[in-house]
A and B are shown apart, each in its own frame.
Chain A
Amino acid sequence: MTGGPILEARGLSKAFSSRRSVGDVILRRPAEELQALQDVSFLVGRGESLGIVGESGCGKSTLARCLVGLYPPTAGQTVYEGKEFEQKRSFSDRKKIQIVFQDPYSSLNARMTIGQALREVLRVHKVVASGRVSSRAVELLALVGLDADIANVYPRQLSGGQRQRVNIARALAVEPEVLIADEPVSALDVSIQATVLNLLASLRERLGLTLILIAHDLSVVRYLCDRVAVMYMGRIVEIASTEELFEDPRHPYTQALLAAAPSLERKSRDDARSIGGDPPSPFDLPSGCPFHPRCPVASDHCTTVRPPLEEGPGDSLHQAACHYAWAPPAPHHTPLTRGEENLR
């Protein structure tokens, strides 16, 4: 961790209720609860970049929204520089954490020019004196590597990469200290992705930003982040420095994710670590460890007792939520047999 901690998630949980149909109401069936986020805690150091990876539905976007304050968490707090945010964040608190969304096409108002969109933010948040608003908007465009004349065009006239730069400029307009990027490049073409990734890296350096990068793509996280948290079914299952996580993953799910990620440089596939099956339904989570139905090393113990997120013996920054992360299974250990082998 560089610098002291700036942001902390303390036991964040978020549940959503499913919509009840008329029939459900008449029959008094309660709404089903979906636990999108369960007891997620971590620290982010000032100037650090933390990556959060996981498959769709693992809760990574919900986590981003809880941190920014777009969703009120059902339990837990977001702590900023040692102080908890209030349930309803004050105007000045909201400026401190900003977010860039995945889809650059739908996150800009189609009927406002880029300049109008940026000036609106600057005026509403009174970032600069009213006489300086226009020139500040141009400065922001320059910051993300766009020309001043972009201010006069509409979003539809821009490419995806340019739009994503505008989104970053708009997020930076209120001078946040923490920037959350939720899948910032997954909607972009491959040749464009690099420009946005490099921009995020250089902004972090130039402005001393703290970056939280949400991605499903491990390669993006490896490129940009100092530390990585892996999520599965609403919980963090492993968190470590990028180096450690990619070189020495301890959780079988992390190992499976790494084995499944296609790579140009690794020719042979690590079949021993790849897994079958689909992620379980979030409405009906398995007992014990949520990963046990797909886990190659799960034992009976795993079906009943959920492993906590625990530190490794030598390294306090590497944590994993697996009974066998640090101690290999006992010699008499027999892996669960299950009827899903044909999914391989």
Chain B
Amino acid sequence: MSAPVLQVRDLQVRLSSPRGVVQAVRGVSFDVEAGHTHGIVGESGSGKTTLLRAILGLLPGNATAGGAISVSGRPVPLAGGRSKAVEGVSIVFQEPMTALNPVVKVGRQISEAPRHRLGLGRRAARDRALELMRQVGIPDPARRFDSYPHELSGGLSQRVLIAIALSAEPKIILCDEPTTALDVTVQDQILKLFSRISEETGVAIVYVTHDLAVVAQTCRTVSVMYAGQFLESGTIEAVFGQSRHPYTLGLLGAVPDVSRGRTPLVAIPGSPPDLVNPGEGCPFVPRCSYARDECSHGVFSLRSVNHHQSTACIRSDALAGAS
């Protein structure tokens, strides 16, 4: 076990809005070690993107944050401002087409960080960019160097974004639904590329998505996020194989799978809570079939049930063997 490159401790983020204060992230803690890929699954509005922005030190102006984040031991300033810690973090966004500058050649966009952050000369930065393009599997890098983003397909643009993410020699790459906008065959190629990169460079990857199957195939560990909290965390095999939280179980039963025939799908009733006033107790109570009176009071945080997983459910014993 090496020391974690990313440590998040009891992170709280509140965003002020015209409707009141939105409690977007409510006490999230986790570690990611070098070379590991950690998945975070959650539905829209569960706080995944706000969590990523906090790790990047890019919380919006209306946010107030508590808790601590550190990258390679250096604290990330939650109130904004420059820090060496944030320089070790890169991000790959969902929409490759909108994340690239349309009027700048892709080669220049890739060599920007090597030139300005790593201080390489023009020639050296170009060589570095070409090498990165080769590393992410862009065919004929010398020709593509002078392409504009609109000349590239979705899959190639996503490879360019990954090259940019790698260009500043990061310790951590954050991925915010990086393949949701791509076709399945291209998604498959990009997922394999991520596994190869983490093996070759030892970079840690935090992979955020709503797609359970994608997480199952790319990550070693996973956290299930709901209403700004982690409800369950652990290895893929444990969380998806022997889940100890009703929400995870609900999700697993609600999504069709290509390898499964017509096992009936069971929808989770109700909808996620409003985070302006989430109330006390477990956030999943109104939709949970295992809920008891004691679930509506107190604070629910992750506690470990075995070596491989931890859950926020106090009735997890009742769930053992349910999946």
- A interface, CB within 8 angstroms of B: 55-56, 159, 161, 189-195, 197-198, 216-220, 222-223, 246, 256-266, 269, 274-276, 278-279, 339-340, 342-344
Q: Which of B216, B254, B256, B261 has the most CB of A within 10 A?
A: B256
Give the total number of A-B pairs whose CB atoms are below 8 A apart.
126
Q: Is the CB of A197 within 8 A of B265?
A: yes
Interface size of B by CB at 8 A reads 44
A-B contact pairs, 20 of them (CB 8 A): A55-B183, A55-B184, A190-B255, A191-B251, A193-B255, A194-B253, A194-B255, A194-B267, A194-B268, A198-B264, A216-B183, A216-B184, A219-B260, A220-B256, A222-B260, A260-B185, A260-B188, A265-B259, A276-B189, A343-B139
Q: Please judge, given known A-B contacts A223-B262, A278-B155, A340-B139, whether A260 and B254 are in contact too, CB under 8 Å.
A: no
Q: Is the CB of A191 within 8 A of B250?
A: yes
Chain A residues in 8 Å Cβ range of B258: 218-219, 222, 246, 258, 261, 263, 266
Chain A residues in 8 Å Cβ range of B260: 219, 222, 265
Q: Is the CB of A343 within 8 A of B189?
A: yes
Identify the closest chain A residue to B153 (Cβ): A278
Cβ of B31 within 8 Å of any chain A Cβ, yes or no, is no
Mark interface residues in B192-219 (1 if CB within 8 Å of A CB, else 0). 1000000000000000001111101100
In the complex, besides A190-B43, A194-B267, A223-B265, 19 extra interface pairs with C-beta distance below 8 angstroms are: A55-B185, A189-B44, A190-B210, A191-B251, A191-B267, A194-B266, A222-B262, A256-B185, A257-B185, A260-B185, A262-B211, A262-B213, A262-B214, A263-B213, A264-B257, A266-B258, A276-B189, A278-B154, A342-B139
Cβ of B69 within 8 Å of any chain A Cβ, yes or no, is no
A298 to B: closest C-beta gap in Å: 16
Cβ of B148 within 8 Å of any chain A Cβ, yes or no, is no
Task: Give Cα A56 to B252, complex, Å.
Answer: 27
Q: Is the CB of B251 within 8 A of A190?
A: yes
Task: Give Cα A257 to B210, complex, Å.
Answer: 20
Task: Give Cα A228 to B260, complex, Å.
Answer: 16
Chain B residues in 8 Å Cβ range of A56: 183
Task: Give Cα A274 to B267, complex, Å.
Answer: 32
Chain A residues in 8 Å Cβ range of B216: 262-264
Q: Is the CB of B262 within 8 A of A274?
A: no
Residue of A55, A222, A342, A343 near B256 (CB, 8 A) is A222
Identify the closest chain A residue to B215 (Cβ): A262
Task: Give Cα A215 to B282, complex, Å.
Answer: 36
Q: Which of B43, B44, B184 has the most CB of A within 10 A?
A: B184
Within residues 225 to 273 of chain B, which ones have a CB less than 8 A from any CB in chain A? 240, 250-262, 264-268, 271
Q: Is the CB of B184 within 8 A of A260?
A: yes
Chain B residues in 8 Å Cβ range of A340: 139
Q: Is the CB of B254 within 8 A of A190?
A: yes
